């Protein structure tokens, strides 16, 4: 009887420990505070379709009156962007690419339509997201324990874009992002690398 009770205690303890471990592997949706800022560098190459609007440079994302503001920085000059580029909005939780809580193995998808290049015809696309794991990621802003996500945005078997990005609960943002629109075998396309270089929290 004592042996059975001893084994039961061990099992309960193991399950409790496992539960705590899994709870630590979850990222809840963060709350932002006015005055918080993030600085990112963006490097783009190539183009998508017949047009290109490169985002190369340094960008500041900030919370002002509980709203997201995005500005381009050039030396001491700052210029607010309106409309805000989706690829920059997606770096915080204002985008549609982060579905909280984040847990390893979680998957979800989203359907949307966009105009076909050079015409008024719209094509349907589907984005599939998956949280692949947790990794240590180092950027100019520091080293972070981050959730690694991958997305597959496609309209067909040879028309798809992939994005790999790392979300850090510590910075409440994506700290690194790699986009490649040539993944489907296209000879020309856009590639974009984004990296966090500074985060200023508000205590």
In order of 27, 47, 146, the CA distances from 42 in angstroms are 25, 15, 19
CB atoms within 10 A of CB 58: 15
- Sheet containing 159-168: which strands, arranged edge to edge? 77-80, 67-74, 57-64, 37-46, 190-200, 173-180, 159-168, 142-156, 122-139, 107-115
pLDDT of residue 30: 97
Beta strands in the chain (DSSP E): 26-27, 37-46, 57-64, 67-74, 77-80, 102-103, 107-115, 122-139, 142-156, 159-168, 173-180, 190-200
d(CA 179, CA 124): 20
CA-based nearest residue to 194, from 94, 95, 91 = 91
Q: Tell me: the pLDDT tens digits for 6-38?
A: 444 443 444 443 333 344 589 999 999 999 999
Contacts of 172 (CB under 8 A, 6+ apart): 30, 32, 36, 92, 93
**Residue in this structure with the two tokens 């995005």, named with its chain if needed:** 70
pLDDT number for residue 132: 98
Q: Which residue has the tokens 């190459």?
A: 45
Which domains, ranges and CATH numbers included, belong to the chain?
A: 29-200 (2.40.360)
Ranges of residues in the chain whose predicted pLDDT is under 50 = 5-23, 50-51
pLDDT of residue 41: 98
* pLDDT at 114 (0 to 100): 84
pLDDT for res 151: 96
**Cα 195 to Cα 41: distance, rounded to the nearest angstrom:** 5
């Amino acid at each position: 009887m004592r042996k059975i009770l001893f084994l039961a205690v061990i099992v309960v303890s193991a399950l409790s420990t496992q539960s705590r471990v899994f709870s630590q592997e979850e990222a809840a949706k963060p709350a932002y505070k006015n005055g918080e800022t993030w600085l990112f560098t963006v490097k783009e190459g190539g183009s998508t379709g017949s047009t290109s609007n490169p985002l190369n440079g340094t960008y500041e994302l900030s919370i002002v009156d509980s709203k997201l503001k995005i500005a381009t920085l050039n030396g001491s000059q700052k210029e607010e962007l309106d409309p805000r580029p989706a690829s920059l909005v997606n770096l915080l939780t204002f985008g549609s690419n982060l579905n909280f809580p984040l847990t390893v193995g979680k998957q979800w998808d989203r359907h949307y339509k966009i105009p076909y290049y050079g015409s008024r015809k719209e094509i349907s696309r589907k984005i599939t997201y998956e949280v692949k794991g947790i990794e240590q990621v180092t950027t100019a802003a520091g080293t972070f324990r981050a959730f690694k996500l991958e997305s597959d945005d496609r309209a067909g078997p040879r028309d798809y874009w992939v994005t790999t990005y790392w979300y850090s609960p510590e910075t409440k943002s994506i700290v690194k992002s790699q986009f490649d629109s040539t993944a489907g075998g296209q000879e020309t396309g856009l590639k974009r690398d984004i990296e966090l270089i500074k985060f200023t929290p508000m205590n």
